Amino acid sequence: MDQSITFTEKDQLKAKPESVQLGFGKYFTDYMFEMDYSLEKGWHDPRIAPYAPVALDPAAMIFHYGQEVFEGLKAYRAKDGRILLFRPEKNMKRMNQSCARLNIPKIDGKFVIKAIKKLVAIEKDWVPTEPGQSLYIRPFIIGTEPFLGVHPSGSYKLLVICSPVGSYFGRNTKPVKIYVEDEFVRAVKGGVGFAKTSGNYAASLRAQTKAEELGFDQVLWLDGVEHKYIEEVGSMNIFFKVDGEVWTPELDGSILPGITRDSVLELLKKWGVPVKEKKISVKKLFKKAEKQKLEEVFGTGTAAVISPVGFLKWEDRVVKVANGETGKLSKKLYETLTGIQNGTIKDDMGWTQEVVAASTSDAAAEPAGTPDVVSEAAVTE
Amino acid sequence: MDQSITFTEKDQLKAKPESVQLGFGKYFTDYMFEMDYSLEKGWHDPRIAPYAPVALDPAAMIFHYGQEVFEGLKAYRAKDGRILLFRPEKNMKRMNQSCARLNIPKIDGKFVIKAIKKLVAIEKDWVPTEPGQSLYIRPFIIGTEPFLGVHPSGSYKLLVICSPVGSYFGRNTKPVKIYVEDEFVRAVKGGVGFAKTSGNYAASLRAQTKAEELGFDQVLWLDGVEHKYIEEVGSMNIFFKVDGEVWTPELDGSILPGITRDSVLELLKKWGVPVKEKKISVKKLFKKAEKQKLEEVFGTGTAAVISPVGFLKWEDRVVKVANGETGKLSKKLYETLTGIQNGTIKDDMGWTQEVVAASTSDAAAEPAGTPDVVSEAAVTE
Ligand SMILES: Cc1ncc(COP(=O)(O)O)c(C=O)c1O
Ligand SMILES: Cc1ncc(COP(=O)(O)O)c(C=O)c1O
């Protein structure tokens, strides 16, 4: 896509929240990126404009037939002032895989990364400075055609919004408690489980609230066919360290191919830790646990990075993992990943991309690769 | 709910489309019903106001986690001028079942029916007069809280919009061609298949476009576990007349409990036609067909009422049903149902509810059971 991104500047920026207040996904920055799709023009009119309500016809497809895909990535602030993105090209690739499943026209991933970099550069003062905090970036596409009838939309809107975030689970260090769901099903092969689309999350709410009522943090899903094999957690992939070996469920079409999952697999291989992507029977896993062979369990995801699991419940069986503490490998993975993300560890994997260069506090700094911006703002403060 | 519905009147009504242009779901009337939900107030502020865009925060739950339910029903115009609804209490009951699955707060079904009647009474000139045409009514609820994190929304909006419609399939009488999908899956037990929620339809688009590319009208879904048992069509339940007996898949959690399906079952029982709700193996069905025992196939749904199926394809097997024509039972069911809906057949099932009384063309006519309306309109035309 060879289009310039217009920028409409605000007169009055929002007050920024205190870093202790952040939580997750509650505050939104001053601007958003937006572009539209029509059958005639394709993706067009890319623009950065003040964060504002989206006005849609009440018959818009998104309200009725759920044609939607989204992504989640983060911008991290390094000690030297640089702002870094982590493997954004992977998010764009996955977004296009989701689009293909949901009949949504593909995007030009490179162009959207440029747009995200431009947006983050404009919002750089919103990127939090405290350890463990970051700017969460949410690109999403919605079908907008006003039409009642089950057909792919003829028009779409892509938006990117940003939220400064702290820890996803509200506390940083305590391992989470996980509940194996055996009644509700999230996804099944042939369905949309591998796509990042809103319907998967809507379907998960009942089980999630049930888990919370029972005193657990998250649901561990089983496969939809036999209810025997472990799939993933609400918004994380899952790993088990069993007798010195690391296992994670294979990608078979019903779980999300996590970017943190992929990064963990690469790190483990690099470190020479034996690792297997495979079908994992919950029964066998609990047997291993009961024989004291289950050494560590952790979830992986952009929001929480590495989330150690301290307790697992399945039917009437409860297992305490690593004595309810964070395991050694979980800790090493967390420190390595966040170190690369924050620029404190040298990125020899080539995973980070610079949005804002080192020690730049002057607004004029233009990172490499930022697209041309045509300013529409009449007045600057 | 004991609240009065406010009415904000427009100065200038829209031009109505010609009846031949109608199609399905393309035109929308002048007004919509709307009410909001908050944790503090519950459902509140019910109002009828001009049809207009809905403005939502870009972080609203509907755009990310798909918390949505909807319904579809119709208002029919009788020859004597009456306007009738068909079993609206069933739609409200199903909507609440969908709400329960999607963690959406329940609605007061009686109150929403009152609101729908009020809206339809106001829009009575939009109810088409030609045979086979009607006013399609779409109530839907969306999660509106601006928050990124997989949790039930704290706020919701219920809207009801109306669209004058003709035939759903674009032509009235020709039996449809149906394709048995064996790769993609719509829903699985434990999931949200029985709920009328947007994600189910998003998941169905790929298969639907594939079927259309192959020259078929609709997809016939198989179960998500074994890919062996027949479930339903894109937006219809399915019936088979086999050797004098009528079969339809049983409700087991993965298919929508259709109101037309229920009405057909009741009529068949009343008529003494042997009928079974059961697991139907696609293999056995095709064997019956190949032995000339498959006499009729028809879909049932609010949009198309009864939709005869003329061709079925599964893997490399194609079956022509009832010589590609409309079968006798399909025809009788269609005529009975539309007769009751249009008031030409006496409704001894108690299925219809009057919105506007006979031969009323004066705007002042107030049907029984309409809630009080507080007019906010300053100027009436
Ligand atoms: C269902 C699901 N699984 C796994 C993940 C982890 O994916 P990633 O590591 O790319 O954030 C997420 C979150 O993004 C998710 O929503
Ligand atoms: C998936 C699905 N199945 C069946 C039906 C038929 O249901 P009803 O007869 O209530 O319209 C519909 C349409 O409403 C539907 O969307």
Q: What is the ipTM of this complex?
A: 0.93
Residue A46's alpha-carbon distances to A67, A275, B238, in angstroms, are 21, 43, 45
According to the model, what pLDDT value does residue B168 have? 66
Q: Distance, CA B351 to ligand 2 centroid (Å)?
A: 17
pLDDT at B376 exceeding the cut of 70: no
Cβ atoms of residues A191 and A183 within 8 Å: no
Instruction: Establish if B374 belongs to a structural domain.
Output: no
pLDDT tens digits, B190-213: 999 999 999 999 999 999 999 999
Which among A208, A256, A307 is the best mutation to test ligand 1's pocket, defined by most ligand atoms within 8 Å of the CB? A256
Residues B117 and B201 in one domain: no
Averaged pLDDT, B324-347: 95
According to the model, what pLDDT value does residue B364 have? 41
Question: Taken in order A238, A97, A107, B144, is the CA torsion positive or negative?
Answer: negative
At residue B216, φ and ψ (nearest 5 deg) are: -105, 160
| Cα(B104)–Cα(A211) distance, integer angstroms | 17
| Cα(B148)–Cα(B128) distance, integer angstroms | 43
Instruction: Establish if B375 belongs to a structural domain.
Output: no
Residues B158 and B18 in one domain: yes
Q: Which of A277, A268, A275 is nearest to A349 (CA)?
A: A268
| Cα(B127)–Cα(A166) distance, integer angstroms | 53
- Nearest-CA distance A162 → chain B (Å): 9
Residues A152 and A11 in one domain: yes
In chain B, % of residues over pLDDT 70: 92
B64 in A contact zone (CB under 8 Å): yes
Predicted TM-score of the model (pTM): 0.94
Averaged pLDDT, B9-23: 92
Of residues B148, B150, B198, nearest to A163 (C-beta) = B148
According to the model, what pLDDT value does residue B173 have? 66
Would you say the CB of residue B261 lies under 6 angstroms from ligand 2?
A: yes
According to the model, what pLDDT value does residue A370 have? 44
In sequence order, which residues have a C-beta less than 8 Å from that of residue B215 and are 6 or more positions away?
B177
Cβ atoms of residues A158 and A219 within 8 Å: no
Residues A90 and A158 in one domain: yes
Averaged pLDDT, B366-378: 42
pLDDT at B368 exceeding the cut of 60: no
| Cα(B282)–Cα(A354) distance, integer angstroms | 56
Residue B151's alpha-carbon distances to A147, A381, B77, B187, B215, in angstroms, are 29, 38, 43, 22, 41
According to the model, what pLDDT value does residue B21 have? 87
Averaged pLDDT, A154-176: 85
Q: What CATH number corresponds to the domain at position B78?
A: 3.30.470.10
pLDDT at A171 exceeding the cut of 70: no
According to the model, what pLDDT value does residue A380 have? 29
Of residues A102, A148, A203, nearest to B163 (C-beta) = A148
Residues A166 and A186 in one domain: no
Structure tokens that stand for A355 in this block: 């949005």
Chain A residues within 8 A of B138 when measuring between CB atoms: 59, 64, 148
A14 in B contact zone (CB under 8 Å): no
Are the Cβ atoms of B199 and A204 closer than 8 angstroms?
no
Better-scored residue on pLDDT, A361 or B199: B199
Instruction: Establish if B371 belongs to a structural domain.
Output: no
Give the closest residue (by CA) to ligand 2 atom 16: B235
> Among all residues of chain A, which has the CA nearest to that of B218?
A150
pLDDT at A40 exceeding the cut of 50: yes
| Cα(B94)–Cα(B66) distance, integer angstroms | 18
How does residue B169 score in pLDDT terms, banded at 50, 70 and 90? low
For residues A110, A116, A117 and A123, what is the CA-based torsion angle, rounded to 10 degrees?
170
Cβ atoms of residues A211 and A217 within 8 Å: yes
According to the model, what pLDDT value does residue B357 have? 87
CA A241 remoteness from chain centre:
24
Ligand nearest to C-alpha A256? 1
Are the Cβ atoms of B203 and A205 closer than 8 angstroms?
no
Residues B51 and B97 in one domain: yes
> Among all residues of chain A, which has the CA nearest to that of B148?
A25
The 3-class SS string of chain A reads CCCCEEECCCCCCCCCCCHHHCCCCCCCCCEEEEEEEECCCEEEEEEEEECCCEEECCCEHHHCCCCEEECCEEEEECCCCCEEEECHHHHHHHHHHHHHHCCCCCCCHHHHHHHHHHHHHHCHHHCCCCCCCEEEEEEEEEECCECCCCCCCCEEEEEEEEEEECCCCCCCCCCEEEEECCCCCCCCCCCCCCCCCHHHHHHHHHHHHHHHHCCCCEEEEECCCCCCEEEEECCEEEEEEECCEEEEECCCCCCCCCHHHHHHHHHHHHHCCCEEEECCEHHHHHHHHHCCCEEEEEEEECCCEEEEEEEEEECCEEEECHHHCCCHHHHHHHHHHHHHHHCCCCCCCCCEEEEECCCCCCCCCCCCCCCCEEECCCCCC
Are the Cβ atoms of A53 and B53 closer than 8 angstroms?
no
- Nearest-CA distance B146 → chain A (Å): 7
According to the model, what pLDDT value does residue B365 have? 44
Instruction: Establish if A340 belongs to a structural domain.
Output: no
Instruction: Establish if B180 belongs to a structural domain.
Output: yes
How does residue A2 score in pLDDT terms, banded at 50, 70 and 90? low
According to the model, what pLDDT value does residue A172 have? 55
Residues A91 and A184 in one domain: no
pLDDT tens digits, B260-307: 999 999 999 999 999 999 999 999 999 999 999 999 999 999 999 999
pLDDT at B181 exceeding the cut of 60: yes
Averaged pLDDT, B318-347: 95
At residue A374, φ and ψ (nearest 5 deg) are: -100, 110
Would you say the CB of residue B302 lies under 6 angstroms from ligand 2?
A: yes
Averaged pLDDT, A168-176: 69
Structure tokens that stand for A14 in this block: 């929002």
According to the model, what pLDDT value does residue A358 have? 82
| Cα(B30)–Cα(B15) distance, integer angstroms | 10
Which among A136, A181, A260 is the best mutation to test ligand 1's pocket, defined by most ligand atoms within 8 Å of the CB? A260
Q: Which of residues 177-196 of A touch B (CB under 8 A)?
A: 183-192
Residues B273 and B299 in one domain: yes
Q: What residue type is assigned to position A221 of the chain? A: W
Averaged pLDDT, B220-225: 96
pLDDT at B7 exceeding the cut of 80: yes
Candidates B148, B155, B156, B168, partner chain A, best to mutate (most A CBs within 10 A): B148
* Closest atom of ligand 2 relative to the B91 alpha carbon: 10
| Cα(A149)–Cα(B140) distance, integer angstroms | 14
Would you say the CB of residue B257 lies under 6 angstroms from ligand 2?
A: no
According to the model, what pLDDT value does residue A366 have? 46
- Nearest-CA distance B348 → chain A (Å): 32
Instruction: Establish if A22 belongs to a structural domain.
Output: yes
Q: B198 is in which domain, residue-wise?
A: 176-325
Instruction: Establish if A160 belongs to a structural domain.
Output: yes
Q: What CATH number corresponds to the domain at position A240?
A: 3.20.10.10
pLDDT at A374 exceeding the cut of 70: no
Residues A45 and A111 in one domain: yes
Average pLDDT, chain A: 92
Q: Which class for B132: exposed (0-12), middle (13-18), buried (19 or more C-beta within 10 A)? A: middle
Token look-up 């299925």 returns B351
Chain A residues within 8 A of B225 when measuring between CB atoms: 188, 224-225
Averaged pLDDT, A53-80: 97
* Closest atom of ligand 1 relative to the A237 alpha carbon: 4
> Among all residues of chain B, which has the CA nearest to that of A101?
B206
| Cα(A58)–Cα(B11) distance, integer angstroms | 20
Averaged pLDDT, A137-146: 98
Residues A153 and A204 in one domain: no
Would you say the CB of residue A91 lies under 6 angstroms from ligand 1?
A: no
Better-scored residue on pLDDT, B377 or A233: A233
Q: Distance, CA B232 to ligand 2 centroid (Å)?
A: 9
pLDDT at A367 exceeding the cut of 70: no
Of residues B147, B203, B224, nearest to A25 (C-beta) = B147
- Nearest-CA distance A41 → chain B (Å): 22
Residues B116 and B155 in one domain: yes
According to the model, what pLDDT value does residue B19 have? 84
How does residue A132 score in pLDDT terms, banded at 50, 70 and 90? confident
**Domains identified in chain A, total number:** 2
Instruction: Establish if B292 belongs to a structural domain.
Output: yes
Residues B122 and B209 in one domain: no
pLDDT at A88 exceeding the cut of 90: yes
Are the Cβ atoms of A188 and B185 closer than 8 angstroms?
yes
According to the model, what pLDDT value does residue B159 have? 98
Candidates A48, A57, A150, partner chain B, best to mutate (most B CBs within 10 A): A150
pLDDT at A368 exceeding the cut of 70: no
